[in-house]
Amino acid sequence: MDRVFRVCCPAVVAETSTQNARTRRFRFNWVDSFLWFIRISAIIAIVVGLTGTIQNFLDGQGPTVEQWRDLFVSSISTGAMYGLVALGYSMVYGVLGFINFAHGEVFMSGIMVGWIAAMLLFENGLWDANPFISLAIVLLVAMFTSTLIAVLTEKIAYRPLRGSPRLIPLITSIGVSFFLQYAFAGLFGVGLQTYPAPPGILSEDINVFGVPIEGTKLLVIAVAILAMVALWYFVTKTKTGRAMRAVAEDKEIAGLMGINVDRTIVTTFAVGGAMAGVGGLLWALLFRNVQFITGFLPGIKAFTAAVLGGIGNLPGAMLGGVFLGLFEGMGPLLVLDGLGIPAVSQLKDAVAFSALILVLIFRPTGLLGERLGSEDRA
Amino acid sequence: MTDQTPVLSFRGINTHYGAVHILKDVDIDIYAGEMVSLLGGNASGKTTTLKTILGYVQPTTGEVLLDGVSVNDWSTADRVAHGVSMVPENRRLFKRMTVRENLEIGAYLRSGEDLSTDFDRVFDLFPRVKERLGQKAGTLSGGEQQMVAMGRALMARPKVLLMDEPSMGLAPVLVAQNFEIIERINKAGTTVFVVEQNANMALSIADRGYVLQTGRIVLADTAQALLQNPQMREAYLGEV
């Protein structure tokens, strides 16, 4: 058709092609201008909101310095928990290139089974007698459960799909997510299960460089830092960690070096699961309750944190978690309150996800993400 | 030489990708200490030959033998452990890892052992690599990456070193330098199997050569004889 057209009317063809070239040169790009519009309005909204809040603060309205400080600490500790869960998303993405949406349920399973351990310890009086040993036991139980669930989902659900288009394991992971949610609903009931109250020492304030910080929050932050350091050591200094990074970069060549690729992938799921288990203990410390649906929102937020930090990048996942914690914890009061929006704390989830969109508009690769070269893009 | 057991051999290998017949009755023998070239144009089956050696492709009929033992049902890792290692086409380094880590991964199956003599051997061949140890492999120049890729393969202490298109994507000066290094590796006692399109270069350093054409070995002779072969000169050496 085209050829015939070209043969009969060469002049017309020549004209349209020059026209194309011209429109290309002077094309007004709607997408870019829309993005600029969003960027500028976001900056204006943030600046106006911040000024309003500062004005209120100077007028002696709104939260006091102490309240701001506590808010900051609890945002960081919630963020640290998101960060630990985010690591699992990022690691699996790094190795297999898909988002494992069942990871939130891996996290929930640790909290759930950890709760059984906590109740048993509580009934035997150990919870109050040896609080830190009890917490350590709950931590181990949560880590073990999450690791087991993560490894089983890999073996049963994802391994048979190896080599299929990435959309397929992605959809499967959503199926696995629902399966796990309702399996736990069946086993534990749909009600909220409540952890016994954390040991008394933790609810007291502890002075850190003269700043009083609630014990629980401090423990959460300390555990998260320890877990992250352990993971960093594992990934960069051990043989298995090196193999994991090699598999993430190039499975075929990693196999050529004698690395067992399947086993390395299982290890990746296991380590991600263990980190989610640690995150589960932190959740229990911070919020004390668990339900079959508990994994959903934190899971999505941890995924957001992973994208925020630059998916596939482990320090990025942790940083993304802390940023997300700060955005959702402080954002509403810091910015929305100043804009005169009522009941801002109800909007924390909206703020968290708006933050994701904004970060991606300003920096599409995430905070620490590397720009992908065309050959890395697979 | 004939009563020796070949380090690596193909016995009547046929491979298929789906219905497409790739390798057709391929027989290859490589003896210890030799440098053998496999020559052929695009889509002649060169890469499939390498993949079959490493077990990424299973032959439909025929056997791959390492030291006279059939390895058809061995995993890639087992074959690597037995002493086959490859320098892949386009080098394929782990770009986000340091040069040192790349080399350590090369000796992955011997992790935990003392690797200092292996490192020394690599530094001896490629002094430049020593200067770059702490650098991310992705930041090296093409020539340096080629050195690291060869070093990485040597870290496994291979009995047979497979080279997939070592001249691909390199400047002519570097290609010549590269082949010099391959020759040195071979002289130092490692058996080398080079798969190349650049027939002139490959034959200039090889002991023997095979010519692959649409999946079939059409010529097999000493490198010297192949360089003289009129058919060969016409088809592959760019002379009329």
- State the nearest Cα–Cα gap between A163 and chain B, in angstroms: 14
Residue with tokens 């391929």: B26
In whole angstroms, give the CA distance from residue B191 to residue B49.
17
Can you read off the two tokens belonging to residue A79? 């963020």
Supply the mean pLDDT for chain A: 86
- What angle is formed at CA A300 by the lines to CA A294 and CA A305, rounded to 5 degrees? 125
Residue with tokens 């629902």: A178
With CB atoms and an 8 Å threshold, state whether B76 touches A250.
Answer: no
In whole angstroms, give the CA distance from residue A204 to residue A220.
14
In whole angstroms, give the CA distance from residue A151 to residue A162.
15
Beta strands in A28-98 (DSSP E): none
**Are B114 and B220 within one domain?**
no
> By a Cβ cutoff of 8 Å, what residues of chain B touch chain A?
54, 56, 76-77, 80-81, 85-86, 88, 92, 94-97, 101, 104-106, 108-109, 111-112, 152, 156
pTM: 0.85
**Are B2 and B22 within one domain?**
yes
Mean pLDDT, residues B107-118: 86
- Residues in chain A with pLDDT values less than 50: 1-17, 372-378
Supply the mean pLDDT for chain B: 89
> For chain A, how many structural domains are there in total?
1
Contacts of residue B108 in chain A, CB cutoff 8 Å? 239, 242-243, 257-259
Task: Domain of residue A262: give its range.
Answer: 71-327
**Are B58 and B130 within one domain?**
no
In whole angstroms, give the CA distance from residue A291 to residue B80.
49
- DSSP assignment, residue B137? G
Q: Which H/E stretch holds residue B174? A: helix B172-187
Residue B40 domain flag? yes
- Please list, in sequence order, all residues whose beta carbon lies within 8 angstroms of the beta carbon of residue A339, skipping any fewer than 6 positions away: A45, A48, A49, A52
Residue B88 domain flag? no
With CB atoms and an 8 Å threshold, state whether B152 touches A257.
Answer: yes
Domain at B231, CATH number? 3.40.50.300
Residue A131 domain flag? yes
Q: Which H/E stretch holds residue B196? A: strand B191-196
Mean pLDDT, residues B111-131: 89
In whole angstroms, give the CA distance from residue B200 to residue B212.
15
In whole angstroms, give the CA distance from residue A56 to residue B178.
71
Task: Domain of residue B110: give its range.
Answer: 96-157
The strand pair at B69-70 and A205-208 is best described as unpaired
Task: Let me know: does A191 contact A184? Beta carbons within 8 Å.
Answer: no
**Are B165 and B78 within one domain?**
yes
With CB atoms and an 8 Å threshold, state whether B156 touches A258.
Answer: yes
**Interface mutation target, options B99, B105, B155, chain A, most CBs of A under 10 Å:** B105
Residue A335 domain flag? no
Task: Let me know: does B90 contact B169? Beta carbons within 8 Å.
Answer: yes
**Residue, of B118 and A340, whose pLDDT is higher:** B118
Domain at A231, CATH number? 1.10.3470
**Are B24 and B65 within one domain?**
yes
Residue B89 domain flag? no
**Are B46 and B144 within one domain?**
no
Nearest by CB to residue B80, choosing from A239, A249, A256, is: A256
Q: List pLDDT tens digits, range A103-126.
A: 999 999 999 999 999 999 999 988
Task: Let me know: does A5 contact A16? Beta carbons within 8 Å.
Answer: no
**Are B69 and B103 within one domain?**
no
Residue B20 domain flag? yes
Task: Let me know: does B173 contact B146? Beta carbons within 8 Å.
Answer: no
Q: What angle, 0 to 180 degrees and rounded to 10, lies between the N-to-C axes of helices A215-237 and A261-287?
A: 170
Q: Which H/E stretch holds residue A50? A: helix A30-58
Residue A86 domain flag? yes
Residue A222 domain flag? yes
Task: Let me know: does A108 contact A292? Beta carbons within 8 Å.
Answer: yes
In whole angstroms, give the CA distance from residue B145 to residue A376.
17
Can you read off the two tokens belonging to residue B32? 């210890």
Residue A311 domain flag? yes
Beta strands in A241-301 (DSSP E): 289-290
Domain boundary among B107, B125, B157: B157
In single-letter form, the type of residue at position B186 comes to N
Contacts of residue A239 in chain B, CB cutoff 8 Å? 108, 111-112
Residue A29 domain flag? no
> For chain B, how many structural domains are there in total?
2
Nearest by CB to residue A246, choosing from B86, B105, B156, is: B105
Position A377 scores a pLDDT of 38
**Are B122 and B134 within one domain?**
yes
**Are B24 and B69 within one domain?**
yes
SS3 B66: strand
With CB atoms and an 8 Å threshold, state whether B80 touches A257.
Answer: yes
**Are B57 and B27 within one domain?**
yes
**Are B173 and B220 within one domain?**
yes
With CB atoms and an 8 Å threshold, state whether A249 touches B54.
Answer: no
Position A145 scores a pLDDT of 97
CA A376 to the chain's CA centroid: 23
Dihedral angle sign, alpha carbons of residues B92, B95, B97, B103: positive
Q: Is the pLDDT of residue B51 over 80?
A: yes
Q: What is the b/e burial string over A231-241, where b = at least 16 CB atoms within 10 angstroms of the residue's CB?
A: beeebeeeeeb
Dihedral angle sign, alpha carbons of residues A299, A301, A306, A311: positive
ipTM at complex level:
0.86
Q: List pLDDT tens digits, range B149-183.
A: 999 999 999 999 999 988 887 888 888 888 888 99
Position B41 scores a pLDDT of 82
Residue A289 domain flag? yes
**Are B205 and B237 within one domain?**
yes
Nearest by CB to residue A250, choosing from B92, B108, B156, is: B92
Nearest by CB to residue A257, choosing from B96, B106, B112, is: B106
**Interface mutation target, options B91, B97, B108, chain A, most CBs of A under 10 Å:** B108
SS3 B79: helix
CA A285 to the chain's CA centroid: 19
**Interface mutation target, options A95, A235, A257, chain B, most CBs of B under 10 Å:** A257
